[in-house]
Every structure is written in structure tokens, then in C-alpha cells.
Amino acid sequence: MANNALTNFQCPNCNGPLTFDPGLQKLKCGNCGSTFAPAEIEEHYDKQVALSVEEGQKEYSAEDTLQWSEEDAQNLRAYNCPSCGAQLIADKNTAATSCPYCGNPTIVPAQFSGALKPDYVFPFKMNKDEAIKKLSDFYGGKPLLPNEFKERNHIEEIKGVYVPFWLFDTEADADVHYKASRIRTWSDSEYDYTETSYFSVIRSGQLAFEHIPVDGSSKLDDQLMESIEPFDFSEAVDFQTAYLAGYLADKYDVSSEDSISHANRRVKQSTEDAFEDTVTGFSTVTPESSNIRLINGSTKYVLYPVWLLNTTWKGKKFVFAMNGQT
């Protein structure tokens, strides 16, 4: 099995590990405190990364891989840490992590090359201390929460993860028919009266949708990711691997083709809701038929910043997720 090359960003001044600082929106050295713009470090490392890829190719011998099951060989990858040389084992989709031996952030450039390169990355704006405080405040309002959730050493295990997302743009050309009724009541000295009038209501028009997100990771629940929307696209930046330093990241394992049906369902539901909001002045409104055609679609591949914490209690897994931008 081939060993894909790793790289990590080290300070040009002292060779200390660089991590992206959400407050500064720059990479900061953990040793000397120097700061660098992501583009500056990307340029500095272009030659080093190319050399790392060239020199880092190594074929493991049969003896090295005998312990690996067929499933492991398909789903796991082996790397050498460029800082300490330790062998790291990671999921085949892992694109950024940290070495458990020396602690240096490590990145797999090949996971973001060619067609795998994201169009944009949304940098973290909330650092780990802020995320821990938000989580503690969230737990603070739940006095019956088991201690397994609230223990400080567990809360500090919260991880910053760049989650792969597909963003879909499209236009919805729609015709929706409703059955509506209007009820009028009155009384005289002898009787109470009720008059029900029925109407056929038609709505037609177009709606434009931008940046409909669908997460491209099979590891995360779609509803969980939708619950932490929205992300502010105006703060997206062109993708550079330097933004990943100090965080975890995966490349997508659910393709845009497999994600588009979920995006279409969201668009169609939003279209029906928007059209129904225009049918007013009736006592009841019931959709009868809906014909929604999606045209002029396009797709972007992006990385969203998310703080994640997993807790297991009584054999059940609980996942806490927080938008790392907003």
C-alpha cells in the first residue's frame, strides 16, 4: 500500500508548528508567536510540498501489510509524520489531522488536488476556548444532564473539523394548485348560519436559490448539519490548505451526484412553502398539485467549519455540533 505524503506548516522563523488562529485570521507559531497570512505560507511551502510528495512515496512491504485486513487496506491509509517520522494511520478520507506523537498539525495535500480541490473554505472564526464556553453555557441550562456530558476534561475534547459540503444553485419554475375555502357565519333571532365558499387557487412563478448546502460526509447526519445553518457565504475565501492547519478535515465521500436529490428536495419544499405563504385571506388552504422544474443548476465544493464533540452514555452516541463561523 502506498504511503501518501504528508506536510505540516512550520514557522519560517523558528520551525515551530503553525496553526490557523480564528481571531487573527492568520497562521500563528506556537513557539515564537509569529503570524503569517495563509497566502504567504502557501507560497513559501509550494516547493517544500512538491519535494515532500516526491520524496515521501514509499511502498510498504508485504510484511508491513500482513496485519491489515482487506477492509482495513481499503479504508485506512498509512503516513509518515514529516516532523518526527512517526507512522500515522488514518481514515482514507482524512485530509488534515495532527500527529499524536509530536502534536504537529499535518495535512495530506493529495486529498485536495485536482478535481478534489474545494472551491472555497469558510475559515473558523470561533476558537476552541470560545467553543468550550458556548458548550458549557449550553449544558449549564440542563441541571439533570448526566455528569458524563459536563465533565471539564471531556468538554475539552471538542474538535474543530472542516466538513465537506456541496453548495447547489438553481432556479425553480413552479406551478402549484390549491383548494381553498372561506367560511362566513352569522345569526338572526332564530338561526345560526354558516356559508362555505370553495376556490381553486393557482400560483405560478420562478424562484432563484443560491448556496443550498448538503454535507458531503457520510459520517455526519444531514439533519444535524442542517440544524447549525446558516453559514455566511460572503466570508468564504478561495481554498488554501493553510487554513486547515491545526484542525481536522475530511474530503467528501458522498459525491455531488449523490447529494443533488437531497438539495432538490430542500428547494422544492422551500418553493412550495414560499408559494403557499402568498395564498392568504382563506379559512383553509390545501395543496392539490405541484409541478416544480429545476433549471440552470450549478455546484460548488466547500469546507465548512464545525466544532464537534461525541459523548457515549448508556451505550448510545450523542453528537454535539456547533457552527464554527457564526
Which cell goes with 206? 420562478
Distance CA 254, CA 299 (A): 14
Alpha-carbon distance of 321 to 195, in angstroms, equals: 52
User: What pLDDT score does 69 carry?
Assistant: 61
Residues 6+ apart with CB under 8 A from 154: 148, 309, 311
pLDDT at 6: 67
User: Are the CB atoms for 168 and 268 separated by under 8 Å?
Assistant: no
Contact 218, 254 (CB under 8 A): yes
Distance CA 96, CA 99 (A): 10
Q: Report the SS3 class of residue 263.
A: helix
Tell me the mean pLDDT per 10 residues along the chain, length 326: 61 87 92 90 67 43 50 69 73 78 77 86 94 88 84 87 95 96 94 95 95 93 93 94 90 92 94 94 94 93 94 87 94
Nearest to 107 by CA among 307, 216, 244: 244
Q: With contact defined as beta carbons under 8 Å apart, do 16 and 32 qualify? A: yes
Distance of CA 235 to the CA centre of its chain: 15
Q: What is the pTM of this model?
A: 0.81
pLDDT of 66 reads: 43
Find the helix or strand (DSSP H, E) in which 199 lies. strand 192-215
Residue type, 242: A
Please tell me the total number of residues recorded for the chain in this structure. 326
Cell numbers at 100, concatenated:
499524536
- What are the cell numbers at 20? 490557523
pLDDT value at position 160?
Answer: 94
Residue 283 in 3-state DSSP? Answer: coil
**What is the per-residue pLDDT for 76?**
72
